[in-house]
Amino acid sequence: MKEFIIRGQTASGLTHVINFGGHKGDYGFRLVEFQLYPSTQIGSTSVQSSATITAGKTAITPTDPDYDNEGLIGSALMLHASALDGNISESVVNDTFIITQDVILMVHDVQSNPINWQVKFMPVKLSTTEAALTNYRQFSIFDD
């Protein structure tokens, strides 16, 4: 299997569930890329947007990410201001975390605009033992 992309647009302050719960069997998935892009008035206004991806029961607020939280597997930040020469776009992903269950994406925009997002995943073939351990790990995070 090859890398694949999931993308969408989510209203500021809301969440989007990325469904991996139906992908049972001998595959898990690694988050390898996380990007944000504005949805309105591109280039004509200041933009301050952030987002998180969480492998847990509840989303982690993008304005207050806690890197001590084992369930936080991705965070992204996008800034644009007329004083800046172009955009600043940063993301941090835990590409060692193998996903076997649903994850939650949450976005925030200072001006409450919707945010375009794109994530790239890499399938990972798992042995029966690896699949069981990975499922247990994600379930234990999910149940905290």
Give the rounded percent of residues in the chain with a pLDDT score beyond 70.
Answer: 80
Task: Work out the pLDDT band at 141, boundaries 50, 70, 90.
Answer: low
For 92-102, the pLDDT digits (tens) are 999 999 888 88
For 52-97, the pLDDT digits (tens) are 999 988 999 999 999 999 899 999 999 877 655 667 889 999 999 9
For 91-133, the pLDDT digits (tens) are 999 999 988 888 999 999 998 999 999 999 999 988 777 776 7
Give the rounded percent of residues in the chain with a pLDDT score beyond 90.
Answer: 52
Listing DSSP states for 27-67 in one string gives EEEEEEEEEEEE-SSTTTS-EEEEEEEESSSSPPPTTS--T
pTM for the structure as a whole: 0.85
Length of the chain (residues): 144
